[in-house]
Structure 1
Amino acid sequence: MSIRVNTHFDFSHIQGVIFDLDGTLADSNPDFEGLRRELGLKSGTDILAHMESIIDPVLASKTKEIVTRYELESSSRATWVTGAEQLVALFRRLKLPQAILTRNIPQAAGITLANLGLEMDLVLTRFDAKAKPHPEGVELICEQWQLEPANILFIGDYLYDLQTARNAGTKSVLYSPDLIPDYASQADIVCQCYTALIQHFNTQI
């Protein structure tokens, strides 16, 4: 399967696109489970939620240092996800505004974008809006674009991205090149290959 349409929508009605960054546009080989082990967390624990829950200032500072080091090291290795550059180019040709909504810190996001040679209309990090899956980031982007969420496409590679899309009321694409997770059913479209996604959208232009 290269692409699976769970919920059909007309791409010609899309007026703006929001991307997640790591794993969606950028391949930075993030080892979230390794980070969780270093922090002493159980598999699947929301790292940012854990950081926010720490009361002890010394532990909070140490945890922040570890997470920041991880983010910067991961970003320094970033390269394009296969087909992502062509997907961005398609949206540019169609003159659709594009934005990035990431849970990264600004410095890490900046390093990743520099490695890709990518400039975006808007880049929101966790310093700019409540972290996904909270819809605030999408709401801020829609407000600036003066567009309705229903006409926005959110593209990401993880559960938080799909939850953000649902919470904000946008359409969603899950990029999952390998195994298809159980939560894939929450996406409007599931794709393992951006080339197939581009072909799908081209049929509706």
Structure 2
Amino acid sequence: MSYVPLNISHLKAIVFDLDNTLVTSDMDFTWLREQLGCPLSSDLLSYVEQLECQQAREKAHSVILEHELHDARTSQPMPGCLSLLDFIQRKRLLTAVITRNCAEATQQKIAHNQLNIPRIITREHFPPKPSPDSLLALAQEWQLQRHQILYVGDFLYDLQAAFNADMPSCLVTHGKKVPFSNQASLVVEHLHDLEEIITKQLV
């Protein structure tokens, strides 16, 4: 996998992942996997969906929801988040959130952190990332070319989803070394760095 080149002057929309991109997340996925019996090598959501017993699937979804709702109540905006969203509004760019979280926890996080984002896509709406379906649906909904949409996230699934949708991506590292940073169109440490870069290049 590589990445789709980014031309900031062409941007009409910036779409975000939610957890540890726009807001903090303290989800203990190791403990959650242990509770559900999910191997470290398996994608958690895919593992749950493949459980043959419906009762086991429902119980697993309930456990995940409990973790997500607790995480929503304790979340806070990431550095530069609110300023960047204000900037996007001033520039009249389109924006949305695409997350692997459930709708209930996502709406609670958006409200708790007072994020002004009108379009929210969760795992109930489309197959979860790295599937490109949600990004492609937004492009069609907004009547934009794929290169006009930038997807911003902090994890490999975000970069893969953007690449699979033939869209540029931005990786937020929070100052950490990330082994998959070479798969992003743009790499920044924090959201305010992204705002600074766009400010200089977006007319």
TM-score with structure 1 setting the length: 0.92
Q: Residues 32-73 of structure 1: CA distance to partner in whole angstroms, max 9, x if unpaired?
A: 222112222233531100011101122112211111111111
Q: Does 1:20 align with 2:17?
A: yes
Q: Does 1:153 align with 2:150?
A: yes
Q: Does 1:141 align with 2:119?
A: no
Per-residue deviation at 1:164? 0.3
SS of alignment partner, residue 190 of structure 1: strand
Partner letter of residue 85 of structure 1? L
Q: What residue in structure 2 maps to residue 3 of structure 1?
A: none
Separation (CA, whole Å) in 1 of partners of 2:5 and 2:163: 15
The sequence identity of aligned pairs, in percent, is 29
Partner letter of residue 141 of structure 1? L
Partner letter of residue 169 of structure 1? D
Q: What residue in structure 2 maps to residue 187 of structure 1?
A: 184
Q: Does 1:71 align with 2:44?
A: no
Q: CA 1:65–1:9 in structure 2 vs 1: closer, same or farther (change >3 Å)? A: closer
Per-residue deviation at 1:7? 7.7
Separation (CA, whole Å) in 1 of partners of 2:4 and 2:190: 18
Separation (CA, whole Å) in 2 of partners of 1:63 and 1:146: 38
Per-residue deviation at 1:198? 1.7
Per-residue deviation at 1:179? 2.2
Partner letter of residue 150 of structure 1? H
Q: Residues 67-119 of structure 1: CA distance to partner in whole angstroms, max 9, x if unpaired?
A: 11111111111110011111111111110010111111110001000111123
Q: What residue in structure 2 maps to residue 33 of structure 1?
A: 30
Separation (CA, whole Å) in 2 of partners of 1:167 and 1:7: 10
Q: Following TM superposition, where does structure 1 have runs of at least 4 consecutive aligned residues deviating by more than 4 angstroms?
A: none
Q: CA 1:101–1:172 in structure 2 vs 1: closer, same or farther (change >3 Å)? A: same
Separation (CA, whole Å) in 2 of partners of 1:108 and 1:188: 29
Per-residue deviation at 1:200? 1.5
Per-residue deviation at 1:137? 0.3
Q: Which runs of 5+ in 2 are unaligned?
A: none
Q: Which runs of 5+ in 1 are unaligned?
A: 1-5
- When structure 1 is superposed on structure 2, of 41-50 and 77-86 the one drifting more is 41-50
Partner letter of residue 197 of structure 1? L
Q: Residues 141-182 of structure 1: CA distance to partner in whole angstroms, max 9, x if unpaired?
A: 111111111110000111110000000011100111142221
- When structure 1 is superposed on structure 2, of 43-52 and 98-107 the one drifting more is 43-52
**Residue 114 of structure 2 is aligned with which of 114, 117, 134?**
117
Separation (CA, whole Å) in 2 of partners of 1:127 and 1:30: 19
SS of alignment partner, residue 180 of structure 2: helix
Separation (CA, whole Å) in 2 of partners of 1:78 and 1:204: 32
Q: CA RMSD in A?
A: 1.6
Alignment size in residue pairs: 200
Separation (CA, whole Å) in 1 of partners of 2:57 and 2:147: 38
Per-residue deviation at 1:8? 6.2
Contact residue 79 and residue 191 of structure 2 kept, 8 A: yes
